[in-house]
Chains A and B, each alone.
Chain A
Amino acid sequence: MDLFVSQVLSGVASGAIYGCVGLAMVMIFTSTEKINFAQGEMATFSTYVAWTLMTVGLPYWAAFAATVAISFAAGVLIQRTLLAPLRDAPEMSQVIVFFGLFLVFNSASGAIWGYLPFDFPSPVKAFSTGTTLIGAHQLFIILVAVLMLTLLFLFFRYTSLGLCMRAAAQNPVSASLMGVRVGWMLALGWGLSAAVGAVAGIMVAPVVFLEPQMMVGVLLYAFAAALVGGIDSPPGAFVGGIIVGVLENLVGTYLVGTDLKLTVALVLIIAVLIFKPTGLFGSRRVARV
């Protein structure tokens, strides 16, 4: 029983990471209808930035805040310079740009920081939760993720800027007629999603060690999380992440071992999607001829 509980709890913790990256994807998806395949690699790069800042002597939280700010700015910059000019290009061409970004960030991380894994610090390493069921850092991950989700919810729900971003995502033409600067809203969405990704990277790095491929597996689970939750629902992405994380752990522990757990978890997810194609919280799309 203890094994089961601890596997579920650690599944929730890794699921919170998938959920955060999935949430970052959903934020870009709702305004562009595209999946940013470079999301994970951008997060890895951000985590390296945080590592560098800590290595030069910044305290954890200062490096954390600076990294989130830098990632936000970089996200805005990428959208404005690279993607905004391609707004009218065919959809698949834009997908290729995402793959290009994937390669750029993946290769740059390796070239700058090398391919050896780094030990990444956690501010709660010294603490104990007083139980063997869940580690201190896992609990920390869950808390940070929930806090971030709450802040994002408050921002989108109660601020004028959040309202403008939602309007721009939903109906860009109508939003620009309301004086909303739609292009900038898209860029802010990219910035926010890069910042959320950076937080996810900093959270996951102490668990998996920091190396250039750190996020490749996470990306796929995050994608699955976003789809399970319903691709256009931010809270859905988070819940989807938890489901995927727990499922992954249980499959690995009880069914097939670690060799095939990725495969089996994905097959299960796809099976779920075949029966519930819009995900758990997604809005049903009405098709028009």
Chain B
Amino acid sequence: MKKLSANQKILAGVAIAAAVALPLVTPDFRLFQASQVLIYAIAILGLNLLTGYNGQLSVGHGAFFAVGAYSAALLMNFAGFPYWTTIPAAALICLVVGLLFGLPALKLDGHYLALATFALALAVPQLLKYKAFSKWTGGAPGISIDKPPAPFEFDIFGRAFNADVWLYLFTLGITVLLFFCAWNLVRGRIGRTLVAIRDQPMAAQAMGVNTAIYKSLIFGVSALFTGVAGALNALTVQYLAPDSFHMFLSVFLLVGMVVGGMGAVPSALFGAVVIVFLPNIAGSISKSLPGAIYGVLLILLVYFMPKGIWGALDRLRQFRLPRHRDTGSS
């Protein structure tokens, strides 16, 4: 079983400490952006477990994000759940939804699975807008929820510990927990099995691995991660509308996963930074053509870092510590 080296432990500790200290030096709206990065990182991590580690291509993870978000909102508005209980509830609901969707998906491979998940991504906003459900979902205009309050308020170093700071720290705590869980999941036997199913499905099966169970379970776990991210997003934004869960959300999660780097846990953070900030950068370059600039920036990212940011960092590291490494042949 792979363990963290001392250096990596220190790096992770410093990163968490810096994230905890962030509210001291940043205004509320920056904290909102930081929360968004964490939320998308969780969602991308979920997608990476499914697509990066297990090779099941999902072009529709925005659907699970939406299910998580609406679960949280409906439980708060109609069942009177306290905000923090919606996170485990959304996790459970999305796990079940993911498992249910994962079962028929077992029969579909590659591009067929892409179509099925893409259809899911298109169907969810349509269903949310559907008249018969609008009593709960609010239809096309959407619904709002109450902002979660801070459990206690005080000042620290001249910074008010308010609801925004609390929400950020709440999100951070769940992010750290989920990243820790994901890392534990992939570093051992389960992770190796998932990768084996991705790379050599027939061989894995021949060696007695029940690929169906692994594939549908990881579908559920992946939906769980992305659904928790959706629920956190609902709490952070406090407003939901079907059009926030347009198919482009799914595409951007996919983009975040690939430019972050597939098949590694921390890479989701880099991917999230890209999808949160790249649109702003594109907008500041050209007001009239933000979409085109965004597209060009994406293409350039792929061009210079074909294995994502994580892959590029990995290469830099190997460059610094030169050793003979067989890159293999085909």
Report whether A231 and B298 are in contact in the complex, using a CB–CB cutoff of 8 Å: no
Is A58 engaged at the interface, CB distance under 8 Å to the other chain? no
Max chain A C-beta neighbours (<10 A), residue from B57, B114, B118, B292: B292
Is B119 engaged at the interface, CB distance under 8 Å to the other chain? yes
Is B157 engaged at the interface, CB distance under 8 Å to the other chain? no
Using a CB-CB cutoff of 8 Å, which residues 237-278 of chain A contact chain B? 259-260, 262-263, 266-267, 269-270, 273-274, 277
Max chain A C-beta neighbours (<10 A), residue from B200, B254, B289, B306: B306
Report whether B115 and A287 are in contact in the complex, using a CB–CB cutoff of 8 Å: no
Smallest Cβ-Cβ distance to A261: which chain B residue: B126
Convert A209-243 into 0s and 1s, putting 1 for each residue whose CB lies closer than 8 angstroms to a CB of B: 00000000000100110010001000000000000
Pick from A86, A99, A262: contact of B122, CB below 8 A.
A262
Convert B219-230 into 0s and 1s, putting 1 for each residue whose CB lies closer than 8 angstroms to a CB of A: 000000000000
Report whether A231 and B111 are in contact in the complex, using a CB–CB cutoff of 8 Å: yes
Smallest Cβ-Cβ distance to B288: which chain A residue: A111
Report whether A263 and B295 are in contact in the complex, using a CB–CB cutoff of 8 Å: no
Complex CA–CA separation, A97 to B302 (angstroms): 7
Pick from B109, B292, B303: contact of A104, CB below 8 A.
B292
Known: A90-B307, A263-B127, A277-B109. A107 touches B122 (CB 8 A): no
Report whether B126 and A35 are in contact in the complex, using a CB–CB cutoff of 8 Å: no
Is B116 engaged at the interface, CB distance under 8 Å to the other chain? yes
B-side contacts of A110, CB under 8 Å = 291
At the interface with chain A, which of B18-26, B75-83, B255-263? B255-263
Chain A contact residues: helix, strand, loop or mixed: helix
Pick from B118, B262, B299: contact of A100, CB below 8 A.
B299
For chain A, the count of residues having a C-beta within 8 Å of the partner chain is 42
Report whether A287 and B111 are in contact in the complex, using a CB–CB cutoff of 8 Å: no
A-side contacts of B302, CB under 8 Å = 86, 89, 93-94, 96-97, 100
Complex CA–CA separation, A208 to B203 (angstroms): 49
Report whether B289 and A107 are in contact in the complex, using a CB–CB cutoff of 8 Å: yes
The smallest beta-carbon distance between B133 and chain A, in angstroms, is 11
A-side contacts of B118, CB under 8 Å = 220, 223
A-side contacts of B129, CB under 8 Å = 259
Report whether A93 and B258 are in contact in the complex, using a CB–CB cutoff of 8 Å: yes
For chain B, the count of residues having a C-beta within 8 Å of the partner chain is 48
Complex CA–CA separation, A224 to B298 (angstroms): 26
Chain B contact residues: helix, strand, loop or mixed: helix
Report whether B255 and A93 are in contact in the complex, using a CB–CB cutoff of 8 Å: no
Report whether A96 and B254 are in contact in the complex, using a CB–CB cutoff of 8 Å: yes
Report whether B298 and A92 are in contact in the complex, using a CB–CB cutoff of 8 Å: no
Report whether B130 and A259 are in contact in the complex, using a CB–CB cutoff of 8 Å: yes
Known: A260-B126, A267-B119. A100 touches B296 (CB 8 A): yes
Report whether A99 and B292 are in contact in the complex, using a CB–CB cutoff of 8 Å: no
The smallest beta-carbon distance between A281 and chain B, in angstroms, is 15
Is B176 engaged at the interface, CB distance under 8 Å to the other chain? no
Report whether A266 and B123 are in contact in the complex, using a CB–CB cutoff of 8 Å: yes
Known: A96-B259, A107-B290. A277 touches B107 (CB 8 A): yes
Is A101 engaged at the interface, CB distance under 8 Å to the other chain? yes
Pick from B57, B111, B131, B294: contact of A259, CB below 8 A.
B131
Using a CB-CB cutoff of 8 Å, which residues 230-266 of chain B contact chain A? 251, 254-255, 257-259, 262
Is B112 engaged at the interface, CB distance under 8 Å to the other chain? yes
Known: A96-B259, A231-B111. A102 touches B295 (CB 8 A): yes
Give me 12 A-to-B residue pairs in the complex whose CB atoms sit less than 8 angstroms apart, sorted by A's number.
A86-B302, A92-B51, A92-B254, A92-B262, A93-B308, A100-B298, A103-B291, A107-B289, A263-B127, A266-B122, A270-B119, A289-B202
Q: Which 3 A-B pairs have the closest CB atoms?
A: A107-B291, A103-B295, A266-B119
